[in-house]
Amino acid sequence: MRVLDPRLDAEGDPMTMAPALGALDGAAVGLLDNAKIGTAQFFDHVEHILRSRWGVREVLRRRKPDSSRPVPPEILSELSGADAIVSAVGD
Protein backbone atom coordinates (compact mmCIF):
# COMPACT_ATOMS: atom_id res chain seq x y z
CA MET A 1 0.00 0.00 0.00
CA ARG A 2 1.26 3.47 -0.88
CA VAL A 3 0.17 6.41 1.32
CA LEU A 4 0.32 9.92 -0.16
CA ASP A 5 0.61 13.09 1.92
CA PRO A 6 -1.74 15.75 0.42
CA ARG A 7 -0.22 18.62 2.37
CA LEU A 8 1.91 21.23 0.67
CA ASP A 9 5.17 22.52 2.03
CA ALA A 10 4.94 25.98 3.57
CA GLU A 11 5.87 28.83 1.24
CA GLY A 12 7.43 32.15 2.12
CA ASP A 13 8.39 33.58 5.49
CA PRO A 14 6.32 32.78 8.58
CA MET A 15 3.77 35.44 9.46
CA THR A 16 3.52 37.13 12.82
CA MET A 17 0.64 39.00 14.40
CA ALA A 18 0.85 42.79 14.44
CA PRO A 19 1.07 44.39 17.87
CA ALA A 20 -2.27 45.28 19.47
CA LEU A 21 -3.49 48.86 19.10
CA GLY A 22 -3.41 50.98 22.22
CA ALA A 23 -6.84 52.42 21.38
CA LEU A 24 -9.39 52.50 18.56
CA ASP A 25 -10.15 56.21 18.91
CA GLY A 26 -9.08 57.85 15.65
CA ALA A 27 -8.09 54.55 14.04
CA ALA A 28 -8.94 53.24 10.58
CA VAL A 29 -10.43 49.74 10.75
CA GLY A 30 -10.85 47.37 7.82
CA LEU A 31 -13.79 44.96 7.71
CA LEU A 32 -13.20 41.99 5.40
CA ASP A 33 -16.42 40.23 4.38
CA ASN A 34 -15.99 36.61 3.28
CA ALA A 35 -19.03 36.81 0.93
CA LYS A 36 -21.26 34.45 2.91
CA ILE A 37 -24.85 35.21 3.84
CA GLY A 38 -25.16 37.31 6.97
CA THR A 39 -21.66 38.79 7.03
CA ALA A 40 -22.68 42.17 5.59
CA GLN A 41 -25.48 42.58 8.14
CA PHE A 42 -23.11 41.58 10.96
CA PHE A 43 -20.56 44.14 9.75
CA ASP A 44 -23.27 46.85 9.63
CA HIS A 45 -23.65 46.30 13.37
CA VAL A 46 -19.89 46.12 13.99
CA GLU A 47 -19.33 49.36 12.04
CA HIS A 48 -22.01 51.15 14.06
CA ILE A 49 -20.37 50.05 17.34
CA LEU A 50 -16.87 50.97 16.16
CA ARG A 51 -17.98 54.48 15.18
CA SER A 52 -20.41 55.26 18.02
CA ARG A 53 -18.67 53.66 21.00
CA TRP A 54 -15.00 53.53 20.07
CA GLY A 55 -14.47 56.69 17.98
CA VAL A 56 -13.09 54.93 14.92
CA ARG A 57 -12.16 57.55 12.31
CA GLU A 58 -12.66 55.43 9.21
CA VAL A 59 -14.09 52.02 8.31
CA LEU A 60 -12.83 50.35 5.13
CA ARG A 61 -15.24 47.64 4.01
CA ARG A 62 -14.23 45.11 1.40
CA ARG A 63 -15.84 41.86 0.25
CA LYS A 64 -14.07 38.81 -1.09
CA PRO A 65 -15.44 37.65 -4.45
CA ASP A 66 -15.66 34.06 -3.17
CA SER A 67 -15.71 32.63 0.35
CA SER A 68 -13.63 29.56 -0.51
CA ARG A 69 -10.59 31.33 -1.91
CA PRO A 70 -7.85 33.50 -0.41
CA VAL A 71 -8.24 37.27 -0.40
CA PRO A 72 -7.15 38.73 -3.77
CA PRO A 73 -3.96 40.82 -3.58
CA GLU A 74 -5.76 44.00 -4.71
CA ILE A 75 -8.17 43.77 -1.75
CA LEU A 76 -5.29 43.21 0.65
CA SER A 77 -3.59 46.25 -0.85
CA GLU A 78 -6.73 48.36 -0.31
CA LEU A 79 -6.88 47.25 3.34
CA SER A 80 -3.16 47.78 3.96
CA GLY A 81 -3.76 51.34 5.18
CA ALA A 82 -5.98 50.18 8.04
CA ASP A 83 -4.69 50.18 11.61
CA ALA A 84 -6.63 46.95 12.27
CA ILE A 85 -8.63 44.47 10.21
CA VAL A 86 -11.57 42.32 11.24
CA SER A 87 -12.23 39.29 9.07
CA ALA A 88 -15.54 37.53 9.67
CA VAL A 89 -17.39 34.47 8.49
CA GLY A 90 -21.15 34.59 8.14
CA ASP A 91 -23.89 32.13 7.28
The pLDDT profile of the chain, 91 residues, written as one tens digit per residue, is 888 888 878 788 888 887 889 999 999 999 999 988 888 899 999 999 999 999 999 999 999 998 888 999 999 999 999 999 999 776 7
- Which amino acid makes up residue 76? L
pTM of the model: 0.78
**CA triple 64-69-73, angle to 5 deg:** 60
CA atoms within 13 A on the CB side of 42: 16
Cβ count near 62 (within 10 Å): 18
